[in-house]
C-alpha cells in the first residue's frame, strides 16, 4: 500500500505559505509480527504546530525539514498482525500528516466503541477539548457563578471553554473574528455575550458582557486581548495562558501587555500550561465530556477539508480565521 | 504638644519633586479617655506609596491632597489614658508622616519588648520583611535547593529575599543599581552572585549566577528585568510579582515583556500579591524572622535620614537609588 504524506521543506517566515510544504508518496512496508496497518480517516491541524516549525529549543522538539509532519490522527486498522487489534478497530495516533502507516502498538491508543464521529476524538473529545477542560477547571480554578472571558472563542478550544463555563453555571463572554462566528457563539453555543475583535474597543466590549469584571480570562491569543483583559480582571482573578495565536506568525518580538503591574494590586495569577502535563485528569475529562457531548449539552462544529493534499491549506487557514470550531481534514 | 507633618500638595508627574510636598505644624488635641499620646521615633517611606499618589482606583485608596500622608511608623507612648498602654511602650501605627499623634487603640499595635532597634520593625521585622517572607515561601513556593533571582536586591524587600533563600539552602542571585550595592550583596549578605543592572546584558548576567536557570524570580521592578528573567526560567518556575518600581514614575505606558508566551510552554506561574492578604502568616513570620535577625543569620542595613522635614527627600531617594536596605527617617 502507498501513503501520501506532507513534509515541511522550508521553515515559514510569518504566515506559512503552501510552498513551505510538499506532498510525497511512500510505499508502506510489509507487516511484521505485532504490527498493524492503519488507514487514517481524520487528521488534525492545530495552532501549536506553528511553534514546532521554528528551529528552537521548546517543550517539544521542532519538526525536521524533509520529514513527514506529525500530529493527531484517527485511523482504522485495515490489517493486523497484533492479537489485540482487529480489522475495523479505530485507533488514535500522533503520526499525523499521512494517509496510512504501519506501526507496532507503541504510540497507538485504541478508541474502543466510538460514541461520536471519529473526528470528534481530534477535537472536543481530544486534545483541544481536554485543553479547555483542564485549563478552565484546573489551571483557572473556575468556581460556580464566576465570569469567564475567552478569546479565540469560536475555535476548537475556545468554544469548549465557553460551554463548560455555562455548564458550571458561570457567565461566558467570548471574542471571535467575524460577525458569523459571534452569532454562532451566542445563538448556537449559549455564550452570554460575544463580540468581533475587529471592532476594536476590546476592553469596552468585554465589560459589556461582564460589567462586574472577569474572574477567569482564558487566553488563546495573547497580545491586545491579554492587555485588555488585565484591565477587566476582578481581584484574585486567574489567567490560564493557553496560546498566543496573535503572535505565532510574528517575525519580530511583539510588545507585551503594558499593564502587567495590575496583577500586583489585584493579586492576579497568570499561569501557562500544556495539556500533556495533566494526564491524571484524562479519565475525568473523557467521562464528563463524552456525557456532555452525547447529551447535546456541549456542541461542537468542525470546518472540514477533504484529502491529504489539502492539509497545508487547512493549517494556514487556522491563522486567517478560516475555521469555526475544530479544523479537520478527512480522508475518504 | 505640636506635631510637624508632611502633606501632599500636588500629584507628582514622573519622579516626585520636593515641591509636591509641604510641611505643616498642627496642635495635637488633649487626650480623651482611652487615648494615648504617641511621639514617633522612626518613620518609613516605601515604593508602594508612589502608587497611592496617583488619583485612580486601586487596592488601596489614593492619598488626598492637603492631608497628612500616612504610612508605617514606630512611636513611643508619652502619655496614656488607656489602661493597656503605659508611658514608654513602643507602638506601631500606620498614621505615618508626622511627629506625633493622639489615638485610641484602634490602628495601634503594641510591640511588646523590642528584640531589635525600633526601626527594624519598619523593615526586616515589618512590612518589607514579611513581603519577602510570604512572597518567596508562599507565593513563590520555594523548595530546598532551588535557584532564586531577585531584582532590587539591595532594597529592604530584596535583601531579605536573597538571605531567606540562602537560609533555605537555595542559590541566590540578585541585581542592584551600583557597584557598592553588588559588593554588599555578595560580601555581606551571602548572595551567590550579584550584578549591576546598569551594565546591561541582564539575561547573560542572570545566567552567569544561575547557569541552569531560575526556579523563582522575585520581581520588584518589572520592565526589562521581568523580560530577561522570563528567558531564564526553568520549567514550572514561579514569579511572585511584588513591585514594578521601574514603572512607578513612568508618565506613559511602558511596553510589557515581549516574551510572555514563554510562560505557556514552560508552565510558568506569574502571581501578583499584596502582603496584607497574608496576615495568617504573621506569627510564623515574626517567629522565624526574629530568630534569624537576633542570631545574625539575616542581616539588614538601613539608609537613615533625620527629621520629619527630610521625608520627601528620603521618599524621592527610593527612586534614584539613594538607599541600600530599608529607607528610614528617624526623629530625635
pLDDT digits (tens, 9 = 90+) for A238-283: 999 998 776 777 767 778 899 999 999 899 999 999 999 999 999 9
List of residues 6+ apart from A206 with CB closer than 8 A: A149, A173, A175, A214, A228, A229, A232
What confidence category does residue A57 fall into, taking pLDDT thresholds of 50, 70 and 90?
Answer: low
Q: Is the pLDDT of residue B248 over 90?
A: no
Supply the pLDDT for residue B60: 64
Supply the pLDDT for residue B59: 58
From the list B255, B268, B272, the residue facing A263 with the nearest CB is B272
Mutate to test the interface with A, among B47, B134, B152, B265 (most CBs of A within 10 A): B265
Mutate to test the interface with A, among B256, B266, B277 (most CBs of A within 10 A): B256
Q: Is the pLDDT of residue B262 over 80?
A: yes
From the list B243, B253, B264, the residue facing A272 with the nearest CB is B264
Supply the pLDDT for residue B324: 85
What confidence category does residue A30 fall into, taking pLDDT thresholds of 50, 70 and 90?
Answer: very high
d(CA B149, CA A85): 53
The average pLDDT across A113-122 equals 92
Is residue B22 within 8 angstroms of chain A, CB to CB? no
Scanning A47-106 for CB atoms below 8 A from B yields 51, 58-59
What is the helix (H) or strand (E) element at residue A299, kind and residue range? none
pLDDT digits (tens, 9 = 90+) for B195-245: 999 998 999 999 999 999 999 999 999 989 999 999 999 999 999 999 877
- The model's pTM is 0.89
Ranges of H-type helices in A79-169: 127-134, 156-167
Supply the pLDDT for residue A255: 81
Residue B155 DSSP symbol: B
For residue A129, give the nearest of A242, A289, A11 by alpha carbon: A289
Enter the ipTM.
Answer: 0.87
From the list B226, B268, B271, the residue facing A272 with the nearest CB is B268
Nearest-CA residue of chain B relative to A257?
B256
Nearest-CA residue of chain B relative to A250?
B258
pLDDT digits (tens, 9 = 90+) for A81-101: 999 999 999 999 999 899 999
Residue A150, min C-alpha distance to chain B (Å): 16
Contact B226 A261 (CB under 8 A): no
pLDDT digits (tens, 9 = 90+) for A64-73: 999 999 999 9
pLDDT digits (tens, 9 = 90+) for B153-202: 999 999 999 999 999 999 999 999 999 999 999 999 999 999 999 998 99
Chain B residues near residue A273 by CB distance under 8 angstroms: 264, 267
Please, what is the average pLDDT of chain B? Answer: 94
Please give the sequence-ordered ranges of beta strands (E in DSSP) within chain B, or none if there are none.
Answer: 2-8, 21-27, 36-44, 73-80, 90-93, 100-103, 109-110, 147-150, 171-176, 193-196, 214-218, 233-241, 269-272, 302-306, 326-330
Q: Give the position of cell 471592532.
A: A199
Chain A residues near residue B223 by CB distance under 8 angstroms: none
Contact A261 B242 (CB under 8 A): no
Q: Is the pLDDT of residue B37 over 90?
A: yes
Q: Is the pLDDT of residue A287 over 80?
A: yes
Contact B256 A254 (CB under 8 A): no
Supply the pLDDT for residue A153: 96
Please, what is the average pLDDT of chain A? Answer: 94
Please give the sequence-ordered ranges of beta strands (E in DSSP) within A45-106, or none if there are none.
Answer: 73-80, 90-93, 100-103
d(CA A242, CA A131): 8
d(CA A99, CA A76): 11
Amino acid at each position: 500500500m502507498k501513503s501520501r504524506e506532507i513534509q515541511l521543506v522550508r521553515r515559514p517566515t510569518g504566515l506559512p505559505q503552501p510552498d513551505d510544504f510538499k506532498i510525497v508518496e511512500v510505499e508502506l512496508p510489509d507487516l511484521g509480527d505485532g504490527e498493524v496497518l492503519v488507514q487514517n480517516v481524520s487528521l488534525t491541524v492545530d495552532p501549536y504546530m506553528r511553534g514546532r516549525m521554528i528551529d528552537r529549543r521548546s517543550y517539544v522538539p521542532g519538526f525536521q525539514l524533509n520529514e513527514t509532519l506529525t500530529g493527531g490522527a484517527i485511523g482504522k486498522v485495515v490489517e493486523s498482525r497484533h492479537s489485540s487489534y482487529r480489522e475495523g478497530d479505530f485507533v488514535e495516533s500522533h503520526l499525523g500528516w499521512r494517509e496510512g502507516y504501519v506501526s507496532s502498538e507503541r504510540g497507538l491508543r485504541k478508541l474502543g466503541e466510538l460514541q461520536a464521529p471519529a473526528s470528534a476524538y481530534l477535537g472536543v473529545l481530544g486534545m483541544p477539548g481536554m485543553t479547555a477542560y483542564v485549563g478552565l477547571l484546573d489551571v483557572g480554578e473556575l468556581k460556580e457563578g464566576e465570569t469567564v472571558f475567552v478569546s479565540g472563542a469560536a475555535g476548537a478550544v475556545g468554544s469548549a471553554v465557553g460551554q463548560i463555563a455555562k455548564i458550571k453555571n458561570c457567565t461566558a463572554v467570548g471574542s471571535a473574528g467575524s460577525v458569523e462566528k459571534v452569532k454562532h457563539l451566542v445563538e448556537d453555543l449559549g455564550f452570554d455575550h460575544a463580540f468581533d475583535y475587529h471592532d476594536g474597543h476590546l476592553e469596552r466590549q468585554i465589560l459589556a458582557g461582564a460589567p462586574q469584571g472577569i474572574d477567569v480570562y482564558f487566553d488563546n491569543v495573547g497580545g491586545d486581548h491579554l492587555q485588555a483583559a488585565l484591565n477587566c480582571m476582578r481581584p484574585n482573578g486567574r489567567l490560564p495562558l493557553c496560546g498566543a495565536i496573535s503572535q505565532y506568525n510574528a517575525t519580530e518580538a511583539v510588545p507585551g501587555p503594558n499593564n502587567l503591574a495590575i496583577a500586583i494590586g489585584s493579586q492576579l495569577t497568570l499561569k501557562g500550561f500544556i495539556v500533556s502535563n495533566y494526564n491524571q485528569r484524562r479519565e475525568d475529562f473523557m467521562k464528563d465530556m463524552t456525557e456532555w457531548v452525547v447529551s447535546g449539552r456541549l456542541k461542537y462544529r468542525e470546518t472540514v477539508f477533504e484529502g491529504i493534499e489539502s492539509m497545508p491549506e487547512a493549517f494556514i487557514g487556522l491563522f486567517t480565521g478560516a475555521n469555526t470550531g475544530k479544523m479537520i481534514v478527512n480522508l475518504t
